[in-house]
């Protein structure tokens, strides 16, 4: 219970904790053992409304906003960060891109099943040539061929690509413009030419995987283009603003999980006749973790509240994401010390929570990328929120679906 949050969000948190305790935690170990994606659990989470917090009822959302979404991400990650791995694909970046840039027909066809957990999402931007400058290094290209595009190239770290039914993927359509990309709604199970291969990642889930993707004349109908040719990066950048707050909230959840595990162990483990929590140097680590978590919570919730209020958010989202990922790393590291040798055992959760702390440091914009944005803003070189008011961040609760650019996507509407 957090007495600074609205009651409806506290109730949502309580019901998610119950769901994780009764449905997810008892089942995840088996999914991990089998390396099987937990489709049934994702469907149950969707049916309970956990993926729909920022979307209106008209597309199957529960209309509670970004603060509620941050709390859901935090609590998913605190309870089982492996299961939380698909949260962005179901509830944030993937449906958000479609909602804000899709035609009404695209929105109604693809967003409700994603939020319901009936289809599995994906957001594929990164390529082998680099993620920090994804656009500058993008090699994947899409060639128009009558009523379809044919996509050729490769993508990297596309999470859930080996399971996805409906994803958003970026490709170049204009070889003469190095900084233009086009976004597509892709359906890998329906059309040929998409090959996803899970990558072995140290410490991360065996059931919810990230992938290398190879595209060989992969077919995307023209009607599945999002917006116009060349709009892709703008569409994705908007989604990443909210996506970074989701990742920051997950990092907060992981930090809390490390903290709680460390507290429990420090109170239980006896060394020289007393609990290790009685030793001042252990207390120093516990205090550092508590302080970092409270500061992160403040930042993450502030960033989410600003999104809900329609205020400029790019700078605070970068600060929250950077700080939260530092906090997750700090808590995983200090927490593991509390466990001594047992902190290295796979059956001790903190040993693999560390890998997720590292992931949050890198995914959806590395720590360096966040720091560049923060420092350039502070130094007056580039105002982080300079686009606010021009390409207004679109809040699905208050803004109707589809950007103005989608309205002019005549091909997509006609075919
Ligand atoms: C488990 C996992 C899941 C992921 N899921 C997805 C997904 O679903 N979809 C997707 O599109 N991507 C995904 N990613 C990719 C992720 O977003 C990228 O890894 C990230 O953007 C960094 O790109 P990179 O790994 O190519 O590193 P690079 O861009 O090659 O960077 C390497 C290093 O150089 C630093 N660096 C780069 N540029 C600068 C600069 N200008 N100044 C200072 N330092 C710099 C970086 O901070 C980093 O430390 C995932 C990654 C992981 C690990």
pLDDT of residue 409: 32
Look over the chain and give the mean of its residue pLDDT values, rounded to a whole number: 93
Tell me the fold of 122-231: Butyryl-CoA Dehydrogenase, subunit A; domain 2 (2.40.110)
| Closest residue by CA, ligand 1 atom 42 | 368
**Domain ranges (residues) in the chain:** 7-120, 122-231, 234-379
Average pLDDT on 354-380 reads 96
Q: Which residues contact 108 (CB under 8 A, 6 or more apart)?
A: 59
Pick from 363, 370, 373 the residue to mutate for probing ligand 1's pocket: most ligand atoms within 8 Å of its CB: 363
Q: How confident is the model at residue 405 (pLDDT cuts 50, 70, 90)?
A: very low
pLDDT digits (tens, 9 = 90+) for 379-400: 999 999 998 876 556 778 777 6
234-379 CATH, one of 1.10.940.10, 3.40.50.10420, 3.30.230.10, 1.20.140.10: 1.20.140.10
**pLDDT over 60 at 403, yes or no:** no
Q: Is the pLDDT of residue 42 over 80?
A: yes
Q: Tokens for 399, please give them.
A: 């803004």
The yes-or-no verdict on residue 410 having pLDDT over 80 is no
Residues 69-123 have pLDDT tens digits of: 999 999 999 999 999 999 999 999 999 999 999 999 999 999 999 999 999 999 9
pTM of the model: 0.94
**Ligand 1, atom 4: nearest CA belongs to which residue?**
157
Helix (H, G, I), strand (E, B) or coil at 365: coil
- 394-407 burial, b at 16+ Cβ within 10 Å, e below that, comes to bbbbeeebbbebbe
Segment 216-249, tens digit of pLDDT: 999 999 999 999 999 999 999 889 888 999 999 9
305 phi and psi, to 5 degrees? -65, -35
Which of 128, 373, 413, 109 has the alpha carbon at shortest distance from 241? 373
342 alpha-carbon distance from chain centroid: 30
pLDDT at 395 (0 to 100) = 78
Superfamily of domain 7-120: Acyl-CoA dehydrogenase/oxidase, N-terminal domain (1.10.540.10)
pLDDT at 164 over 50: yes
User: Quick check: is 364 catalytic?
Assistant: yes
Give the residue, by CA position, lying nearest to ligand 1 atom 21.
131
Is 294 in a helix, a strand, or coil? helix
Q: Which of 74, 229, 326, 364 is catalytic?
A: 364
pLDDT, greater one: 412 or 266 = 266
For residue 369, which atom of ligand 1 is closest to its CA? 47
- 271/402: higher pLDDT: 271
Confidence of residue 135 (pLDDT cuts 50, 70, 90): confident
With a cut of 70, say whether residue 411 has pLDDT above it.
no
- Which pLDDT score is estimated for 141? 95
The set of protein residues with a Cβ atom below 6 angstroms from ligand 1 is: 123-126, 130-132, 157-159, 201, 204, 210, 359, 362-364, 366, 368-369, 372
Distant-in-sequence, close-in-space partners of 295: CB < 8 Å, separation ≥ 6: 323, 327
Q: Which of 194-198, 299-303, 400-404 comes out lowest in average pLDDT?
A: 400-404
Report pLDDT digits (tens) over 324-351.
999 999 999 999 999 999 999 999 999 9
pLDDT, one tens digit per residue, over 277-311 is 999 999 999 999 999 999 999 999 999 999 999 99
User: DSSP labels for 173-214?
Assistant: S-TT-TT--EEEEE-TTTSSSEEEEEPP-TTS-SSS--EEEE
């Amino acid at each position: 219970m957090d007495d600074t949050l609205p009651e409806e969000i506290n109730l949502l948190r309580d019901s998610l904790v119950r769901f994780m305790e009764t449905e997810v935690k008892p089942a995840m170990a088996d999914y991990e053992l089998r390396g099987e994606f937990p489709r049934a659990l994702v469907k149950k989470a969707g049916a309970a409304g956990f993926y729909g917090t920022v979307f209106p009822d008209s597309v199957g959302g529960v209309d509670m906003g970004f603060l509620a979404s941050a709390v859901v991400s935090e609590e998913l990650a605190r309870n089982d960060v492996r299961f939380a791995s698909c949260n962005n694909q179901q509830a944030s970046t993937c449906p958000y891109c479609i909602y804000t840039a899709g035609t009404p027909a695209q929105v109604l066809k693809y967003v409700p099943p994603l939020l319901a957990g009936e289809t599995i999402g994906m957001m594929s931007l990164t390529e082998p040539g680099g993620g920090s400058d994804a656009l500058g290094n993008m090699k994947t290209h899409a060639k128009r061929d009558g009523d379809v595009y044919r996509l050729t190239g490769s993508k990297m770290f596309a999470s859930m690509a080996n399971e996805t039914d409906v994803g958003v993927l970026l490709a170049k359509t204009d070889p003469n413009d190095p900084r233009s990309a086009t976004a597509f709604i892709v359906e890998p199970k329906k059309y040929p030419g998409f090959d996803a291969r899970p990558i072995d990642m140290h410490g991360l889930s065996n059931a919810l995987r990230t992938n290398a993707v190879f595209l060989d004349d992969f077919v995307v109908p023209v009607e599945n283009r999002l917006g116009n040719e060349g709009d892709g990066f703008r569409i994705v950048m908007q989604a990443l603003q909210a996506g970074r707050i989701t990742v920051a909230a997950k990092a907060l959840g992981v930090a809390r999980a490390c903290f709680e595990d460390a507290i429990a162990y420090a109170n239980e483990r006896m060394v020289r006749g007393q609990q290790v929590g009685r030793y001042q140097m252990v207390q120093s680590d516990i205090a550092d973790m508590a302080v970092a978590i409270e500061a992160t919570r403040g930042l993450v919730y502030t960033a989410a509240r600003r999104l809900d209020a329609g205020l400029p958010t790019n700078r605070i989202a970068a600060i929250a994401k950077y700080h939260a990922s530092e906090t997750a790393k700090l808590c995983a590291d200090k927490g593991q010390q509390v466990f001594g040798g047992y902190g290295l055992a796979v059956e001790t959760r903190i040993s693999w929570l560390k890998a997720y702390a590292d992931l949050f440091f890198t995914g959806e914009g590395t720590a360096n990328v966040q720091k560049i944005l923060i420092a350039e803003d502070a130094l007056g070189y580039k105002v982080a929120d300079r686009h606010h008011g021009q390409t207004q961040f679109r809040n699905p609760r208050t803004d109707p679906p589809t950007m103005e650019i989608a309205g002019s996507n005549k091909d997509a509407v006609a075919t």
